[in-house]
Structure 1
Amino acid sequence: MNIHQAELPSQRYAKCIEVSRRIRWDIDRDVIRARGFDVAHKFLPDGLTEVARLPFLSEDERRLMSQVQGRTYANMFRLVERFVGAKMLEVGRDHALGDQIALEAVMRFTEEELKHQELFRRIEMLAAENMPAGYRFMPPTDDVANFVLGKSTWAILALTCCIEIVTQVHYRQSMELDDSLSPLFKDVFLFHWKEESQHAIIDELEWVRDDAKLDDMARHRAVDDLIELIGAVDGLLQLQATADAEYFLANAGRPFTEHEQADVRAGLLDAYRWQYIVSGVEEPRFSKLLTSLIDERQGERLGAALAPIVRRTLNREMFGRI
Structure 2
Amino acid sequence: MLNQTTEYQSCIQSSERVSWRLDELLPKDTVLDFSHRFLSDALTGTEDIPFLSAEERLMLNHIRSNSYAHLFLFLEEYAVALAAQRAGLELHGNATHMRALLRFTEEELKHQQLFARFTGVFAKGFKVAPALLDNQVEVARAIMAKSNLGVLIFNLHMELMTQQHYQETVRGNKDETLDPLFCNLLKHHWLEEAQHTRLDFLEAQKILAQAPEALDAALTEYSELLQALRGTLNAQLALDLQTLEKAVGRTFTPTERQQLSESQERSYVWGFIGMGMKAPLFLSRLRALSPLAEQRVLELAPTYYCA
Pairs within 5 Å for 1:225-244: 225-244=221-240
Alignment correspondent of 2:266: 270
Pairs within 5 Å for 1:249-288: 249-253=245-249, 256-288=252-284
TM-score norm. by structure 1 comes to: 0.86
Whether contact under 8 Å (1:171, 1:190) holds in the other structure is: yes
Alignment correspondent of 1:108: 103
Deviates more, 1:87-96 or 1:28-37: 28-37
Structure 2 CA distance for aligned equivalents of residues 288 and 248 of structure 1:
39
Alignment correspondent of 2:19: 24
Alignment correspondent of 1:66: 61
Q: CA deviation at 1:294?
A: 4.5
Pairs within 5 Å for 1:50-89: 50-89=45-84
Pairs within 5 Å for 1:1-322: 9-32=4-27, 34-138=29-133, 140-178=135-173, 180-216=177-213, 218-253=214-249, 256-294=252-290, 296=292, 302=297, 305-310=300-305
Task: List runs of 5+ in structure 2 lacking aligned partners.
Answer: none
- Give the total of aligned pairs: 303
User: Identical aligned pairs, as a percentage?
Assistant: 29
Deviates more, 1:36-45 or 1:148-157: 36-45
Deviates more, 1:252-261 or 1:228-237: 252-261
Task: List runs of 5+ in structure 1 lacking aligned partners.
Answer: 1-7, 315-322
Q: 1:133 to 1:144 in 2, by over 3 A?
A: same
Deviates more, 1:259-268 or 1:109-118: 259-268
Deviates more, 1:103-112 or 1:172-181: 172-181
Structure 2 CA distance for aligned equivalents of residues 199 and 237 of structure 1:
23
TM-score norm. by structure 2 comes to: 0.90
Q: CA deviation at 1:295?
A: 5.8
Structure 2 CA distance for aligned equivalents of residues 91 and 54 of structure 1:
44
Structure 1 CA distance for aligned equivalents of residues 262 and 50 of structure 2:
14
Whether contact under 8 Å (2:36, 2:177) holds in the other structure is: yes
